[in-house]
Protein backbone atom coordinates (compact mmCIF):
# COMPACT_ATOMS: atom_id res chain seq x y z
CA UNK A 1 0.00 0.00 0.00
CA UNK A 2 1.32 3.43 -0.93
CA UNK A 3 2.30 5.47 2.13
CA UNK A 4 1.00 2.85 4.56
CA UNK A 5 1.63 4.05 8.12
CA UNK A 6 4.21 2.23 10.22
CA UNK A 7 2.83 1.31 13.64
CA UNK A 8 5.19 1.08 16.62
CA UNK A 9 3.99 -0.66 19.79
CA UNK A 10 5.95 1.04 22.56
CA UNK A 11 6.28 -1.51 25.34
CA UNK A 12 8.81 0.72 27.04
CA UNK A 13 8.81 -0.32 30.67
CA UNK A 14 5.31 -1.78 30.73
CA UNK A 15 6.91 -5.15 31.41
CA UNK A 16 7.22 -3.86 35.02
CA UNK A 17 10.63 -5.48 35.35
CA UNK A 18 9.26 -8.94 34.51
CA UNK A 19 11.04 -9.70 31.26
CA UNK A 20 9.36 -13.10 30.96
CA UNK A 21 6.17 -11.09 30.31
CA UNK A 22 7.78 -9.67 27.17
CA UNK A 23 7.17 -12.89 25.24
CA UNK A 24 3.41 -12.41 25.56
CA UNK A 25 3.65 -8.66 24.98
CA UNK A 26 5.61 -9.11 21.74
CA UNK A 27 3.16 -11.81 20.64
CA UNK A 28 0.14 -9.59 21.32
CA UNK A 29 1.77 -6.60 19.61
CA UNK A 30 2.26 -8.71 16.48
CA UNK A 31 -1.31 -10.04 16.61
CA UNK A 32 -2.54 -6.47 17.04
CA UNK A 33 -0.93 -5.44 13.75
CA UNK A 34 2.16 -3.62 14.98
CA UNK A 35 5.09 -3.40 12.56
CA UNK A 36 7.65 -2.68 15.26
CA UNK A 37 7.86 -3.43 18.98
CA UNK A 38 9.98 -1.05 21.03
CA UNK A 39 11.72 -1.00 24.40
CA UNK A 40 13.66 1.70 26.26
CA UNK A 41 17.35 1.30 26.95
CA UNK A 42 19.24 3.40 29.50
CA UNK A 43 16.33 4.66 31.59
CA UNK A 44 15.44 3.49 35.11
CA UNK A 45 18.14 0.85 34.75
CA UNK A 46 20.01 1.30 38.03
CA UNK A 47 20.24 -1.59 40.54
CA UNK A 48 16.81 -2.19 42.04
CA UNK A 49 14.96 -0.36 39.24
CA UNK A 50 12.57 -2.02 36.79
CA UNK A 51 14.40 -1.67 33.48
CA UNK A 52 17.72 -3.45 33.95
CA UNK A 53 18.28 -4.68 30.41
CA UNK A 54 21.58 -6.43 29.69
CA UNK A 55 22.99 -8.29 26.70
CA UNK A 56 21.33 -11.55 27.77
CA UNK A 57 17.89 -9.92 27.86
CA UNK A 58 18.51 -8.21 24.51
CA UNK A 59 19.34 -11.58 22.95
CA UNK A 60 16.13 -13.03 24.39
CA UNK A 61 14.07 -10.14 23.00
CA UNK A 62 15.73 -10.59 19.61
CA UNK A 63 14.86 -14.29 19.65
CA UNK A 64 11.21 -13.67 20.51
CA UNK A 65 10.87 -10.87 17.95
CA UNK A 66 12.28 -13.09 15.22
CA UNK A 67 9.90 -15.87 16.23
CA UNK A 68 6.89 -13.58 15.88
CA UNK A 69 8.35 -11.90 12.77
CA UNK A 70 8.20 -8.35 14.10
CA UNK A 71 10.96 -5.75 14.07
CA UNK A 72 12.60 -5.01 17.43
CA UNK A 73 13.63 -1.45 18.23
CA UNK A 74 15.19 0.31 21.22
CA UNK A 75 15.11 3.91 22.37
CA UNK A 76 18.69 4.89 23.18
CA UNK A 77 18.72 7.15 26.22
CA UNK A 78 22.33 7.10 27.49
CA UNK A 79 25.91 6.60 26.30
CA UNK A 80 25.99 3.30 28.19
CA UNK A 81 22.84 2.17 26.38
CA UNK A 82 24.42 2.96 23.02
CA UNK A 83 27.60 1.07 23.94
CA UNK A 84 25.44 -1.92 24.91
CA UNK A 85 23.27 -1.99 21.78
CA UNK A 86 25.81 -1.08 19.09
CA UNK A 87 27.44 -4.56 18.77
CA UNK A 88 24.03 -6.08 17.95
CA UNK A 89 23.97 -4.16 14.66
CA UNK A 90 20.26 -3.24 14.64
CA UNK A 91 18.96 -1.87 11.36
CA UNK A 92 17.63 1.30 12.98
CA UNK A 93 17.57 3.26 16.21
CA UNK A 94 15.06 5.35 18.13
CA UNK A 95 16.17 8.43 20.06
CA UNK A 96 13.97 9.65 22.89
CA UNK A 97 13.00 13.28 23.43
CA UNK A 98 15.02 13.57 26.62
CA UNK A 99 18.20 12.37 24.88
CA UNK A 100 17.94 15.20 22.35
CA UNK A 101 17.79 17.67 25.24
CA UNK A 102 20.24 16.03 27.66
CA UNK A 103 22.84 14.55 25.33
CA UNK A 104 22.90 15.98 21.80
CA UNK A 105 26.52 14.77 21.30
CA UNK A 106 25.23 11.20 21.73
CA UNK A 107 22.56 11.84 19.08
CA UNK A 108 25.22 13.05 16.66
CA UNK A 109 27.41 10.02 17.43
CA UNK A 110 24.51 7.65 16.72
CA UNK A 111 23.73 9.41 13.45
CA UNK A 112 27.32 8.95 12.27
CA UNK A 113 26.39 5.30 11.66
CA UNK A 114 24.01 6.61 8.95
CA UNK A 115 21.38 4.05 9.92
CA UNK A 116 17.68 4.82 9.86
CA UNK A 117 16.94 6.77 13.02
CA UNK A 118 13.62 7.89 14.47
CA UNK A 119 13.84 10.94 16.74
CA UNK A 120 11.07 12.22 19.03
CA UNK A 121 11.02 15.96 19.70
CA UNK A 122 8.68 16.10 22.67
CA UNK A 123 10.97 18.36 24.71
CA UNK A 124 12.47 20.38 21.86
CA UNK A 125 11.20 23.98 21.96
CA UNK A 126 13.59 25.71 19.56
CA UNK A 127 12.65 26.94 16.10
CA UNK A 128 15.31 24.98 14.22
CA UNK A 129 15.68 21.22 14.23
CA UNK A 130 18.44 19.76 16.45
CA UNK A 131 19.92 17.98 13.41
CA UNK A 132 19.18 19.01 9.80
CA UNK A 133 16.68 16.69 8.11
CA UNK A 134 18.28 13.86 6.14
CA UNK A 135 16.91 10.80 4.37
CA UNK A 136 17.87 8.48 7.23
CA UNK A 137 16.21 10.67 9.91
CA UNK A 138 12.50 10.54 10.74
CA UNK A 139 11.22 13.12 13.22
CA UNK A 140 8.15 12.45 15.37
CA UNK A 141 5.94 15.19 16.75
CA UNK A 142 5.48 14.50 20.41
CA UNK A 143 4.47 16.16 23.65
CA UNK A 144 6.22 14.95 26.79
CA UNK A 145 3.24 15.07 29.12
CA UNK A 146 1.74 11.94 30.64
CA UNK A 147 -1.05 11.84 29.74
CA UNK A 148 -1.66 14.56 27.18
CA UNK A 149 -5.10 16.11 27.24
CA UNK A 150 -6.90 17.40 24.12
CA UNK A 151 -6.12 21.02 25.02
CA UNK A 152 -2.40 20.16 25.04
CA UNK A 153 -2.46 18.96 21.43
CA UNK A 154 -3.48 22.15 19.63
CA UNK A 155 -0.09 22.37 17.92
CA UNK A 156 -0.30 18.90 16.37
CA UNK A 157 0.68 19.55 12.73
CA UNK A 158 -2.32 20.26 10.51
CA UNK A 159 -0.44 18.72 7.57
CA UNK A 160 2.50 16.44 8.30
CA UNK A 161 3.48 16.49 4.64
CA UNK A 162 4.23 20.20 4.90
CA UNK A 163 6.13 19.97 8.17
CA UNK A 164 9.43 18.66 9.52
CA UNK A 165 7.63 15.69 11.01
CA UNK A 166 7.22 12.20 9.57
CA UNK A 167 4.99 10.90 12.33
CA UNK A 168 3.50 11.17 15.77
CA UNK A 169 4.49 9.69 19.13
CA UNK A 170 1.39 9.59 21.31
CA UNK A 171 0.96 10.10 25.05
CA UNK A 172 -2.78 10.70 25.08
CA UNK A 173 -5.51 8.39 26.34
CA UNK A 174 -7.27 6.49 23.57
CA UNK A 175 -6.34 6.17 19.90
CA UNK A 176 -8.27 9.12 18.47
CA UNK A 177 -5.31 11.50 18.29
CA UNK A 178 -3.26 8.88 16.45
CA UNK A 179 -6.04 8.62 13.86
CA UNK A 180 -6.17 12.40 13.53
CA UNK A 181 -2.42 12.37 12.88
CA UNK A 182 -2.83 9.72 10.16
CA UNK A 183 -5.58 11.78 8.55
CA UNK A 184 -3.15 14.71 8.53
CA UNK A 185 -0.40 12.71 6.81
CA UNK A 186 1.61 11.04 9.59
CA UNK A 187 3.55 8.05 8.23
CA UNK A 188 4.77 6.70 11.60
CA UNK A 189 2.58 6.18 14.66
CA UNK A 190 4.11 5.28 18.00
CA UNK A 191 1.69 4.29 20.77
CA UNK A 192 2.42 2.87 24.21
CA UNK A 193 1.28 -0.75 24.56
CA UNK A 194 0.15 -2.73 27.60
CA UNK A 195 -1.64 -5.91 28.55
CA UNK A 196 -3.25 -4.27 31.60
CA UNK A 197 -4.20 -0.58 31.71
CA UNK A 198 -5.17 -0.86 35.38
CA UNK A 199 -1.59 -1.63 36.39
CA UNK A 200 -0.13 1.22 38.45
CA UNK A 201 3.53 0.11 38.54
CA UNK A 202 4.40 2.98 36.20
CA UNK A 203 2.31 5.83 34.76
CA UNK A 204 2.57 4.62 31.15
CA UNK A 205 -0.02 1.85 31.54
CA UNK A 206 -2.92 4.33 31.84
CA UNK A 207 -2.14 6.04 28.53
CA UNK A 208 -1.26 2.84 26.68
CA UNK A 209 -3.34 0.86 24.20
CA UNK A 210 -4.43 -2.68 25.01
CA UNK A 211 -4.16 -5.29 22.24
CA UNK A 212 -7.79 -4.67 21.24
CA UNK A 213 -7.28 -0.92 21.17
CA UNK A 214 -4.06 -1.20 19.20
CA UNK A 215 -5.74 -3.52 16.71
CA UNK A 216 -8.53 -0.97 16.29
CA UNK A 217 -5.94 1.76 15.69
CA UNK A 218 -4.13 -0.28 13.05
CA UNK A 219 -7.27 -1.39 11.22
CA UNK A 220 -8.84 2.07 11.15
CA UNK A 221 -5.51 3.71 10.35
CA UNK A 222 -4.83 1.44 7.38
CA UNK A 223 -8.37 1.90 6.08
CA UNK A 224 -8.07 5.67 6.38
CA UNK A 225 -4.71 5.58 4.61
CA UNK A 226 -6.20 3.62 1.70
CA UNK A 227 -8.93 6.20 1.25
CA UNK A 228 -6.48 9.11 1.51
CA UNK A 229 -4.23 7.49 -1.12
CA UNK A 230 -7.07 7.31 -3.66
CA UNK A 231 -7.97 10.94 -3.08
CA UNK A 232 -10.90 10.76 -0.67
Q: Give the CATH number of domain 6-229.
A: 3.20.20.70
Digit-coded pLDDT (tens) for 98-119: 999 999 999 999 999 999 999 9
Digit-coded pLDDT (tens) for 18-59: 999 999 999 999 999 999 999 999 988 888 889 999 999 999
Using DSSP's 3-state secondary structure scheme, residue 223 falls into: helix
Please give the Cα distance from 61 to 67 (Å, whole number). 10
* pLDDT over 70 (residue 1): no
Please give the Cα distance from 189 to 187 (Å, whole number). 7
Beta strands in the chain (DSSP E): 6-12, 36-41, 71-76, 92-95, 116-120, 137-142, 167-170, 188-192
Amino acid sequence: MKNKPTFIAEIGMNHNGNFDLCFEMIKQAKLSGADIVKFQLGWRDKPGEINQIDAKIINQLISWSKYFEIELLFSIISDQAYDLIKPFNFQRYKIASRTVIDNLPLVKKILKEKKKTIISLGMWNKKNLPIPKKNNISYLWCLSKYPCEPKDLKNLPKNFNNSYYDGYSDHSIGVETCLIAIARGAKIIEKHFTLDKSNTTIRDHALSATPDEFRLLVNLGKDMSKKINIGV
